[in-house]
C-alpha cells in the first residue's frame, strides 16, 4: 500500500513555523500533519506586496503586546490611511502612538515582540504580522517582520469606519471586576480580539505576542458568575497561534470595542480551554470553548476617534449557535427518553422516492444535540394505530430544526409522504453509534446505496463547513449507488461540497442510468457499487470505511474489504434492517466482548422487571430474547436489525445480569445492553433483571 506523506516538522526545528505550544494543540486537535503543510505554505518571514499595500490603506491596526510583568494586552492603533507603510518586505513603519490611556504606550519598546492584525471590515480581509520593535521615536516606531500570513474572512462582521473630530474628556476606568455596563457590552458583542504570548527564545521567529480576532452571533460571549467569560472557538486555519500560546502561558488580554460609542474595554484574564463535555457539544459549530477568568478591567472612554456603522453579519454566521440554543439543547437532552411532539415545518423532495422532513419542537422545548450519523426514533399516529420507526437525521445539528430524510417504502414512510407540513409526530432523543471519528488520521471512504446516503450526508454536512473549511483535513471519497439520476438524492448538495472542498471526491454509481448528467459533472459510473468497482476508483491505501445501505450491499462490501485484509476496526457499518450478523470475520487480535456470551438452552428462569412500564414477568428460555419477551408482554420497544448490529434497541440495565446470545456489531455505552440478542442470567441473590423500559 502507498504511504501517506505527513510533512511533519520536528518540534523546535528551524524549518517549522510553529512553536511547541502550537504543535501540542495541533496534535490535540488532530490537525498536526495538515497544519504542517499549510503552515509552511502560508507563513512567511516577510510581507508579500499585497499585504504591504493592504496595511497602508487601513485607518486602524490591532496590536498584541506584553507589559513588564508578562501580561498580554490587546489594543488598537488609529491613524489616517497611510499611517502605516512598508519600505521593504521585512519592515513596517507605523507613524502613530498608543491611544490616550492605553498601556500599549509603555509596552512598545526597543526589542519588544508584537502581534499585529490588519482588518478591513468592509471587505472582510485580514492579514497578520508578528514583528520585533527595531526603533521608537517621536513620530512612532518601526517593526522588523518575523512572521507574516493571511487569514480567511470567517466570522468578520462588515462595518464602515469613520473619524470623529471631537471627543469628550478622557476617562480611564481601572478596576478589578466587571461593572454592569461592561457586562452589557460583552453580552451584546459580535466581535472580540484576544492577545496572547509565547515566552520562548527571543531569537526564535515563533516567540512573542500575538493578537487574533474572534467573531460570532451577537451574544456569542457568555458572562458566568459575574467575572468569567466563555466563548466558542470555531473552525479556523488550524494554526492555533492563540491556543498554542495559552498552552504555554494562560494569561490573555481581551479587547471589546463599543462600535457605537468608541469605548475600549480591555481585560486581563486567565484562560483555559474546554475540549469536551455537554456544554461544548450543545453549541452548534463550536470546536472548543475558551473560558476566561477576568482579573483586571480597564475601560477607555473618549480615547478612540473612530465610530462604526451597523454591522453586516458574516453570511454563514447562521450556521453557528447561540448560548440560548445551547441551553435549550442541554435541557432537551434531559428529555431524550421521553416522547416529545414535533411539527413538520417543511417537506423537501430530494429524489423520486426520498423526501426530507424538517421538524420543529411543538412542546416549547429546544432541539436536542446529536452527532451526525445518528437516527431519530419516531411514533406516527396512523389510521391503523401508532407506528414506531427510526429514521436517520440527514443534516448536521443547527440548534433550530431536525431533518430526517425518508424513502417511501412502507406504511410509516407512506404516512409521512402523504401528510407533510403541519402534521405532528412524536420522537425520542436522537441515538445511534454510527458516527464519524474525526480523530482518525486516515483518509475516509463513504460507501452507501439508496436511502443509506442519509447518514453520510449528515456527516459531510458536519465535516465540511463554511464553504471552505474542513473539520477533517484528510481525503474523503464519497461513493453512492442509486438506480438512476431520478432516484439520486442530494446531488446538488454533493456538487456544492465538492466545489468548495478539495479533500472531497464524489462518485455517483447508477445501475439504470437515464442519460442525464449530474450537477457540475460529478463523476458518474454505470453499474453497482462493488469491491471490483472500488479497486478501479481508488488505490487501495490505508482507509477508514463507512458503509450504509441494504443488507446485501453491506455484506458484499464488508466481506470483500475483509478479504482485502482491511482490519475489522476500520470498517464502520449502519445496517438498515438486516437479520444476519455482518461481522463474520472479526480480527484475531480484536478485544473480547465485555458481555458474557451464553447459550439460552442452559439458562434458568429469571424474574424481569420493565421499570418504566412497571411490567413484571418471569423469563424462561422458550421466551427468546429480552426484546421478544417485552413484545410478548404488549410493550413496543424500539428495534431495528434485531441482530445486534444497529444499536437501535439499546436500553439501560438498571439491575441484574444479562448475557449475549451472539457477538454484537454495535457498541453500547456503559450500563446499556442490546435486548435483541440478550437473555437474563440468574444472580447470586436471586434478584430480578431490571430494564429501563
Inside any domain, residue 84 = yes
Look at residue 281 and tell me whether its pLDDT is greater than 70. yes
Give the range of the structural domain holding residue 102, as residue numbers without chain letter: 20-321
In the chain, DSSP finds a helix count (H) and a strand count (E) of: 14, 38
- Tell me the C-alpha to C-alpha distance, in Å, between residue 72 and each of 55, 249, 285, 350, 485: 23, 10, 28, 52, 58
Distance CA 616, CA 598 (A): 23
Give a yes or no: residue 6 inside a domain: no
Instruction: Using alpha carbons, list the distances in angstroms from residue 449 to 156, 285, 546.
Output: 40, 28, 12
| Distance of alpha carbon 402 from alpha carbon 393, whole angstroms | 7
Is this structure's pTM higher than 0.85?
no
Average pLDDT over residues 443-466: 94
CATH assignment at residue 553? 3.40.50.80
Same domain, yes or no: 316 and 333: no
User: At residue 4, does pLDDT exceed 50?
Assistant: no
**pLDDT recorded at residue 226:** 87
Sheet order of strands, 651-655 included: 615-619, 606-610, 689-691, 651-655, 672-673
User: C-alpha distances in angstroms, 381 versus 358, 360, 386?
Assistant: 18, 17, 5
Note whether 261 and 352 are same-domain residues: no
Does residue 501 form part of some domain? yes
Total domains in the fold of the chain: 4
Residue 569 shares a structural domain with residue 622: no
Pair (42, 79) in one structural domain: yes
Last residue of a domain, one of 321, 354, 382: 321
Whether residues 44 and 167 share a domain: the answer is yes
Instruction: Region of 490 please: left (phi>0), alpha (psi -120 to 50) or beta.
Output: left
d(CA 177, CA 179): 6
Report the CATH number at residue 406.
Answer: 2.40.30.10
Rounded distance between C-alpha atoms, residue 525 and residue 515, angstroms: 11
Task: Say how far apart CA 368 and CA 682 lie, in whole Å.
Answer: 38
Residue that is last in its domain, among 539, 559, 575: 575
In a domain? residue 591? no
In terms of domains, do 73 and 217 share one? yes
Give me the CATH number covering residue 616: 3.10.20.30
For residue 435, being part of any structural domain is answered with no
- Interval 407-426 mean pLDDT: 94
1 inside domain: no
Residue 584 lies in a domain: no
| Judgement on whether residues 407 and 458 belong to the same structural domain of the protein | no
**pLDDT at 108 exceeding the cut of 90:** yes
pLDDT reading at 645 higher than 80: no
Residue 12 pLDDT > 80: no
Query: Each residue of 221-266: pLDDT tens digit?
Result: 999 988 999 999 998 888 999 999 999 999 999 999 999 999 999 9
Residues 471 and 497 in one domain: yes
- Of the residues 575, 609, 627, which one is the last residue of a structural domain? 575
49 in a structural domain:
yes
Per 3-state DSSP, the chain is made up of helix, strand and coil in percentages (nearest 5) of 20, 35, 45
Between residues 225 and 269, which one has the greater pLDDT?
A: 269
Strands 208-215 and 222-224: unpaired
Looking at residue 363, its pLDDT comes to 95
Reported as a pLDDT band with limits 50, 70 and 90, residue 5 is very low
Task: Assign 480 to helix, strand or coil.
Answer: strand
Whether 463 and 494 map to the same domain: the answer is yes
Residues 380 and 453 in one domain: no
Does one domain contain both 641 and 673? yes
| CATH, residue 163 | 2.30.110.10
For residue 185, give the nearest of 255, 107, 286, 129 by alpha carbon.
Answer: 255
Q: Is the pLDDT of residue 466 over 50?
A: yes
Mean pLDDT score of the chain, rounded to an integer? 89
Per-residue confidence at 172, pLDDT binned at 50, 70, 90? very high
Per-residue pLDDT for 591 more than 80?
no
pLDDT of residue 590 exceeding 60: no
Residues 364 and 232 in one domain: no
Amino acid at each position: 500500500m502507498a504511504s501517506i506523506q505527513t510533512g511533519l516538522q520536528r518540534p523546535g526545528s528551524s524549518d517549522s513555523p510553529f512553536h511547541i505550544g502550537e504543535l501540542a494543540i495541533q496534535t490535540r486537535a488532530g490537525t498536526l500533519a495538515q497544519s504542517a503543510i499549510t503552515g509552511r505554505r502560508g507563513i512567511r518571514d516577510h510581507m508579500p506586496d499585497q499585504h504591504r499595500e493592504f496595511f497602508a490603506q487601513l485607518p486602524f491596526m490591532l496590536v498584541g503586546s506584553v507589559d513588564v510583568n508578562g501580561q498580554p494586552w490587546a489594543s488598537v492603533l488609529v491613524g489616517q490611511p497611510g499611517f502605516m507603510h512598508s519600505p521593504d518586505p521585512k519592515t513596517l513603519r507605523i507613524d502613530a502612538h498608543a491611544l490616550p490611556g492605553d498601556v500599549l504606550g509603555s509596552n512598545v519598546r526597543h526589542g519588544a515582540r508584537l502581534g499585529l492584525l490588519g482588518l478591513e471590515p468592509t471587505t472582510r480581509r485580514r492579514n497578520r504580522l508578528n514583528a520585533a520593535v527595531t526603533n521608537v521615536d517621536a513620530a512612532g516606531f518601526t517593526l522588523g517582520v518575523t512572521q507574516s500570513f493571511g487569514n480567511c474572512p470567517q466570522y468578520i462582521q462588515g462595518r464602515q469606519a469613520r473619524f470623529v473630530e471631537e471627543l469628550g474628556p478622557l476617562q480611564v476606568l481601572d478596576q478589578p471586576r466587571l461593572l454592569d455596563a461592561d457586562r452589557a457590552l460583552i453580552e451584546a458583542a459580535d466581535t472580540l480580539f484576544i492577545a496572547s504570548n509565547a515566552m520562548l527564545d527571543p531569537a526564535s521567529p515563533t516567540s512573542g505576542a500575538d493578537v487574533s480576532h474572534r467573531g460570532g452571533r451577537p451574544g456569542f460571549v457568555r458572562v458566568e458568575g459575574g467575572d468569567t467569560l466563555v466563548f466558542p472557538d470555531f473552525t479556523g486555519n488550524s494554526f492555533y497561534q492563540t491556543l498554542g500560546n495559552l498552552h504555554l502561558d494562560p494569561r490573555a488580554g481581551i479587547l471589546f470595542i463599543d462600535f457605537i460609542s468608541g469605548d475600549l474595554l480591555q481585560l486581563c484574564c486567565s484562560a483555559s480551554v474546554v475540549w469536551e463535555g455537554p456544554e461544548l457539544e450543545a453549541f452548534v459549530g463550536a470546536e472548543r470553548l475558551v473560558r476566561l477568568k477576568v482579573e483586571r478591567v480597564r475601560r477607555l472612554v473618549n480615547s478612540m476617534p473612530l465610530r462604526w456603522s451597523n454591522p453586516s453579519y458574516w453570511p454563514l454566521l447562521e450556521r453557528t449557535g447561540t448560548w440560548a440554543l445551547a441551553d435549550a439543547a442541554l435541557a432537551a437532552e434531559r428529555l431524550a427518553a421521553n416522547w416529545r411532539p414535533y411539527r413538520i415545518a417543511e417537506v423537501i423532495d430530494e429524489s423520486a422516492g426520498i423526501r426530507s422532513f424538517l421538524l420543529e419542537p411543538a412542546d416549547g422545548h429546544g432541539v436536542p444535540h446529536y452527532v451526525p450519523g445518528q437516527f431519530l426514533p419516531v411514533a406516527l399516529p396512523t389510521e391503523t394505530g401508532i407506528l414506531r420507526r427510526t429514521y436517520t437525521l440527514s443534516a448536521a445539528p443547527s440548534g433550530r430544526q431536525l431533518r430526517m430524510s425518508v424513502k417511501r417504502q412502507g406504511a410509516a414512510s407512506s404516512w409521512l409522504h402523504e401528510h407533510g407540513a403541519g402534521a405532528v409526530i412524536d420522537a425520542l432523543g436522537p441515538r445511534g453509534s454510527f458516527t464519524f471519528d474525526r480523530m482518525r488520521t486516515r483518509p475516509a471512504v463513504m460507501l452507501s446505496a439508496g436511502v443509506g446516503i442519509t447518514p453520510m450526508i449528515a456527516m459531510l454536512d458536519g465535516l465540511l463547513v463554511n464553504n471552505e473549511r474542513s473539520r477533517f483535513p484528510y481525503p474523503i471519497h464519497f461513493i453512492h449507488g442509486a438506480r438512476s439520476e431520478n432516484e439520486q438524492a442530494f446531488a446538488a448538495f454533493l456538487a456544492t461540497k465538492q466545489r468548495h472542498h478539495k479533500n472531497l471526491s464524489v462518485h455517483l454509481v447508477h445501475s439504470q442510468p437515464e442519460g442525464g448528467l449530474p450537477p457540475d459533472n460529478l463523476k458518474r459510473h454505470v453499474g453497482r457499487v462493488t469491491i471490483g468497482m472500488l479497486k478501479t476508483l481508488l488505490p487501495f491505501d490505508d482507509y477508514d470505511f463507512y458503509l450504509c445501505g441494504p443488507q446485501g450491499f453491506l455484506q458484499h462490501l464488508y466481506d470483500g474489504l475483509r478479504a482485502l485484509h482491511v482490519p475489522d476496526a476500520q470498517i464502520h457499518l449502519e445496517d438498515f434492517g438486516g437479520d444476519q450478523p455482518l461481522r463474520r470475520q472479526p480480527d484475531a487480535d480484536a478485544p473480547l466482548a465485555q458481555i458474557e456470551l451464553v447459550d439460552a438452552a442452559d439458562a434458568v428462569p429469571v424474574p424481569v422487571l420493565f421499570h418504566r412500564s412497571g411490567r413484571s414477568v418471569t423469563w424462561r428460555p422458550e421466551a427468546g430474547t429480552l426484546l421478544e419477551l417485552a413484545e410478548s408482554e404488549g410493550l413496543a420497544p424500539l428495534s431495528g436489525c434485531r441482530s445486534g448490529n444497529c444499536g437501535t434497541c439499546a436500553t439501560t440495565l438498571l439491575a441484574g445480569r444479562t448475557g449475549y446470545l451472539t457477538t454484537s456489531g454495535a457498541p453500547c455505552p456503559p450500563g446499556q445492553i442490546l435486548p435483541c440478542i440478550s437473555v437474563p442470567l440468574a444472580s447470586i441473590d436471586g434478584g430480578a433483571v431490571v430494564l429501563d423500559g
